[in-house]
Chains A and B, each alone.
Chain A
């Protein structure tokens, strides 16, 4: 398979965007990415869109067709694909867009992720997010996505002595990063006491342990290395795009405190990239809850199983630490429009690797990693990008 480059990016602010519809957001990010890449619409061979739940959130499916149409591309009869992988839909779309170029099927594609979550009451949105669980054997009994993560947290605390304070430190760190990101949903630092004292969602997780409901869209342009050489501007190489799966319901897993899908996706990605994890300079990990980031740090092998609680606490994963994690603010502070997150993570790496991360810049960032999880761990993607 041939080399694929990221040649441009576009992203909307994330948050409660009352004035913008899903199509507004998708087009805004897409057009910005195309402009950034220095290409025109006639260069685009296909559009891939990651979206988890527009069918229920705004009663609209066929999102790829929708966005292509309103971006003015329908006249070219552009092929469009909508990709769903729960809240890893963005990474899933990226993976398939990458494959379409790596395989030689396409030369240049646009891949975006978008989600409009605020056109329904919160209770309905929680319900819809929980469709990523096993509807028949988990949601049916009253489980929500956050309640499943809460059970993982409690078991992690039981097995490894992880504390509520350590969970809270993840949120504090990510909000501190978000404060440096002009596109983030939350741009103010928060205190540890606020996280610990926030209203409970599902004990031991409180409101500030959990990602918010967000609107937003993000898009990147991919093309073959050969084509990229003919284009101006900065480019980033996709060194690996890997995926792994696991059982849908938590009870069926090998462990209640590890996502094997994350671990295996990481192993596959490192092999594809021909790199070791010590070479990773900056990472965007899936922190849909604070425990999720702790699990990710462990499952991706950056620390031993059980020691993830210390990572944020000790500063290891802070901007100034040895492995900055979620410099964008993560899902927690940057926001989590379900289908957009996977692409937003890639764009943060793009910013870091092209030296455009402003106040969040990690010095000499040359290799970045993005980790996107679907639901409660049944799907995981790991992407490794390198400065070209």
Chain B
């Protein structure tokens, strides 16, 4: 994936680096990643979505230990992916680090950390973003 893929992810920097999501001004539901329209309030939410920084504290809902990696993730095998429920409400997918795969449990508490997600090859852009770790 050479060239301008760096731009595609640059747009999401605030969310990837700082967990900026948003909240519907009408029903107060929190969303991450941020949404342009609230799926509950529809048109009544347009123009009323408020930016919100999420704390990154969460709980594991489910997880897997990946043995056959996505391209670019070979050096990390085996790596743990989880769907976590952030305390503010949204559930998102992220990698679990600083924890042996055998120690990951449904229900365990994690916090967000800032890590390298990948890179566009040795001469391309480096992608950073959130992962989750215990403690």
- Residues of chain A touching chain B, judged by Cβ–Cβ distance below 8 Å, are 123-124, 126-127, 130, 136-144, 146-148, 150-152, 154-155, 158, 199-205, 249-252, 256
Contacts and interface: CB of A to CB of B under 8 A. Distances in A.
Interface string B22-54: 000000000001000000000000000000000
19 contacts: A126-B68, A126-B70, A136-B33, A141-B95, A141-B129, A141-B131, A142-B66, A142-B73, A142-B81, A142-B95, A144-B66, A147-B64, A151-B83, A155-B62, A158-B62, A202-B64, A250-B83, A251-B90, A251-B91
Contacts of A147: 64, 66, 81
Q: Which 9 A-B pairs have the closest CB atoms?
A: A150-B64, A155-B62, A251-B91, A200-B67, A203-B65, A202-B64, A151-B62, A142-B73, A202-B66
Contacts of B118: 140, 142
B61 A140 contact: no
A127 B71 contact: yes
A137 B93 contact: yes
Interface in B58-81: 61-71, 73, 76, 79, 81
Contacts of B12: 136
B117 interface: yes
Contacts of B93: 137-138, 141, 143, 148, 249-251
Interface residues of B, number: 33
A136 B129 CA distance: 11
B57 to A, nearest CB: 16
B9 A140 contact: yes
B68 A202 contact: yes
B109 interface: no
B126 interface: no
B82 interface: yes
Given A150-B64, A200-B68, 5 more contacts: A143-B70, A158-B62, A158-B106, A251-B91, A256-B83
Contact of A251 (B65, B67, B79, B83): B83
A150 B73 CA distance: 17
Q: Give the most central of B64, B83, B90, B94: most A CB within 10 Å.
A: B64
Nearest to B84: A251
A195 to B, nearest CB: 15
Contacts of B83: 151, 155, 250-251, 256
Given A142-B76, A202-B64, A251 B92 contact: yes
Nearest to A199: B67
B62 A141 contact: no
Contacts of B70: 126-127, 130, 139, 142-144
Contacts of A130: 70
A256 B62 contact: yes
B76 A201 contact: no
Contacts of A204: 64
B68 A201 contact: yes
A143 B65 CA distance: 11
A148 B95 CA distance: 12
B127 interface: yes
B64 A151 contact: yes
Given A140-B127, A144-B68, A147-B81, A152 B62 contact: yes
Nearest to B77: A142
A144 B79 CA distance: 12
- In this complex, the member of A137, A152, A155, A158 whose beta carbon has the largest number of chain B beta carbons within 10 angstroms is A137
A137 B82 contact: no
A92 B5 CA distance: 29
Contacts of B33: 136-137
A124 B76 CA distance: 17
A201 to B, nearest CB: 5
A82 to B, nearest CB: 24
A256 B62 CA distance: 9
A171 to B, nearest CB: 17
A120 B106 CA distance: 36
Contacts of A123: 69, 71
Interface in B100-135: 106, 117-118, 127, 129, 131
Nearest to B68: A201
A141 B106 contact: no
B15 to A, nearest CB: 9
A201 B67 contact: yes
A128 B82 CA distance: 21
Contacts of A202: 64-68, 81
Contacts of B92: 137, 249, 251
Contacts of B62: 151-152, 154-155, 158, 256
Contacts of A251: 83, 90-93
Nearest to A203: B65
A155 B106 contact: yes
B52 to A, nearest CB: 17
A255 to B, nearest CB: 11
